[in-house]
Amino acid sequence: MSGPLRWGVVGTGAIAAAWVEDMGMTDSGTVVAVGSRKLETAERFADRWGIANRHASYEALVADDEVDAVYVATPHPLHSPCAALALRAGKPALVEKPFTVTAAEAEELVALARSQGLFLMEAMWTRWLPHIVAIRALLADGALGQIVLVTADHGQWFAPDRDFRLHARELHSGALPDLGVYPVSFASMVLGTPERIVSLTNPAPDGGDETTSMVFGYSSGAHALLNTTISAKTPTRAAIVGSEARIEIDGDFYRPSSFSLISRDGVETRHEVPHEGWGLRHQADEVARCVQQGLLESPVMPLDESISIMATMDAVRAQGSR
């Protein structure tokens, strides 16, 4: 495929709006269509962002001949069915996190993409932010030595409003799927799939989780300590601690940020990483790059890792509910 990727957006919520706004800062793709379950919602979103094609159903959006790739930004339970619609229509898909509701759904979706020979990726946008790219390079160079500990938290305060999606059980509500996926994915990026999982959960009145704390153990001997809550604004920082040095990422670690590399004897090297915009466009650049090169998944966010992250979150939920 040559030229910018022509995107269709499924969903019209806040993350879809931020993504479309950020797409104005890249030339790898352009947004040409939006689909919603109601035409007036699609029209309102399209008018706001100057999008030409408006569709009153997700099926119509994925069938649009002017759409090369589909960005799925619906509530969580619709991630898998909407991505499947795109794949069955022959369109590559970028799917908001969490990738699906369960690991079983993730496995089915990945199997579909592979059977269709189409690109698929979880939209864990943090992985392509400049400060995370720099951190991955330091890890690859062995700058930290043997990794001993990863810490990360993500907490926001939300009023207990039953009409808000984080408190709506039918939308797979709670701290873990919306916020906790960031620390879990961060730990996965650094350490891979945990062998041992210990979790503690405070349930929310709606049935989701209000606060969840996690300890992961790895075959290397490393641990990850992770927290998430929808009841308070936490520091939202992260750290990677190794035998030779550690990395401390400023809050909010999952957004465009900066970090310090601190040696074992306390020498600090500051990494200020300038950035414009939300940072959501970088994942779209990755999709365009992979599609143009004929890749069916991203080496930065592999599909098997997305399945593994969902399995980890399944295990956290199961243990926390006991």
Amino acid at 78: L
303-320 and 103-116 helices, crossing angle to 10°: 170
97 is catalytic: yes
- Cα–Cα dist 101/104, whole Å: 9
Task: Say which of 38, 91, 97, 233 is annotated catalytic.
Answer: 97
Cβ 148 vs Cβ 242: under 8 Å: yes
- Cα–Cα dist 239/180, whole Å: 16
- Cα–Cα dist 284/93, whole Å: 10
Q: Is 184 helix (H, G, I), strand (E, B) or coil?
A: helix
* Helical (H) or strand (E) element with 126: none
Alpha helices in 71-211 (DSSP H): 79-88, 103-116, 130-140, 175, 181-191
Task: List the one residue out of 175, 169, 123, 156 whose CA is nearest residue 282.
Answer: 123
The distance from CA 194 to its chain's CA centroid, rounded to whole angstroms, is: 19
User: Beta strand pairing status for 238-242 and 147-155?
Assistant: antiparallel
Beta bridge partners of 122: 95
Cβ 274 vs Cβ 294: under 8 Å: no
Residues 6+ apart with CB under 8 A from 115: none
- Cα–Cα dist 28/10, whole Å: 19
The distance from CA 308 to its chain's CA centroid, rounded to whole angstroms, is: 14
Token readout for 18 is 């931020």
Q: Which residues are catalytic?
A: 97
